[in-house]
Structure 1
Amino acid sequence: QDVEAITPQTLINIRPVVAAIKEFFGTSQLSQFMDQNNPLSGLTHKRRLSALGPGGLSRERAGLEVRDVHPSHYGRMCPIET
């Protein structure tokens, strides 16, 4: 082929990439459906954090010191929603 006619679509098969993304967002413990009842519920859903799950802590290891609010978290996360 001519070098000028080569496009990213001819070099890369996008189907495996799309399948991996759909599989992650569809089956991962870290993904959740967005709460879209109203704009405020969507905002609180986006600010919700969790230290549990893959790569995080287990329920047995999550002590009280993990649940404390660090001073750098003020204004960035809601300790009640989290």
Structure 2
Amino acid sequence: ETVGENGNEIVVETDDIDHFGNRRLRNVGELIQNQVRTGLARMERVVRERMTTQDVEAITPQTLINIRPVVASIKEFFGTSQLSQFMDQNNPLSGLTHKRRLSALGPGGLSRERAGFEVRDVHPSHYGRMCPIETPEGPNIGLIGSLASYGRVNAFGFIETPYR
């Protein structure tokens, strides 16, 4: 709160970092897209290097292009990423719940050690966006949750809710 030139009070609200309106979800397609992009960048480097070393008349696409960097990048994501899991297929409901899971962990997110109580707590902005009940017990409490029944992710990656 500050005082303006003419004596009027100006109220400045600061952004709440824990507000869901300030958080963007990265869906599976975006994560895989990033992996394919890094694989293609590696492949491009190899192609450029081979183009400079090989004879111009002897160059063919088969000798230049090797898809192994792209395949390795995708396998790396599905094999070693924190965000990649085998789907729970005990019954149809458990599979659906697994697909609607939200995680604040992983690359670009938080770690269990750095996450304090404020991040793990239920925030008023979770109403209609994230289920306040369905969260695991133990070290992941509050960091992994589920999308609420009527919550949906828009094209920009923000969770929308029919409620205000």
Cα drift, residue 56 of structure 1: 1.3
Amino-acid identity (%): 98
TM-score by structure 2 length?
0.36
Shift of 1:44: 0.6
The 3 A distance-change label for structure 1 pair 23 and 29 is: same
TM-aligned CA deviation for residue 76 of structure 1: 4.2
3-state SS of paired residue (1:4): coil
- Residue range with higher mean Cα deviation, 62-71 or 22-31: 62-71
Cα distance in 1, alignment partners of residues 89 and 81 from structure 2: 20
Deviates more, 1:53-62 or 1:1-10: 1-10
Q: How many residues align?
A: 82
Shift in CA distance, 79/11, structure 1 to aligned 2, threshold 3 Å: farther
Structure 1: where are the runs of 5+ without partners? none
Unaligned segments of structure 2, at least 5 residues:
1-53, 134-159
CA 1:39–1:66 in structure 2 vs 1: closer, same or farther (change >3 Å)? same
Contact kept? 1:52, 1:59, Cα under 8 Å: yes
TM-score of the aligned structures, taking structure 1 as reference length = 0.62
Alpha-carbon deviations, 1:15-54, whole Å to 9, x = none? Answer: 4322211121111111111001111001111111221222
Matched, 1:67 2:120: yes
Task: Answer whether contact 1:47 1:78 (CA < 8 A) is retained.
Answer: no
Bigger proportion of residues as strand: 2
State the structure with more CA Rg.
2
Aligned partners of 2:132 and 2:98: how far apart in 1? 13
Question: After the TM superposition, which parts of structure 1 deviate over 6 Å for at least 4 consecutive aligned residues?
Answer: 1-11
Question: Compared with structure 1, are the counterparts of its residues 2 and 37 closer, same or farther at alpha carbon in structure 2 (3 Å cutoff)?
Answer: farther
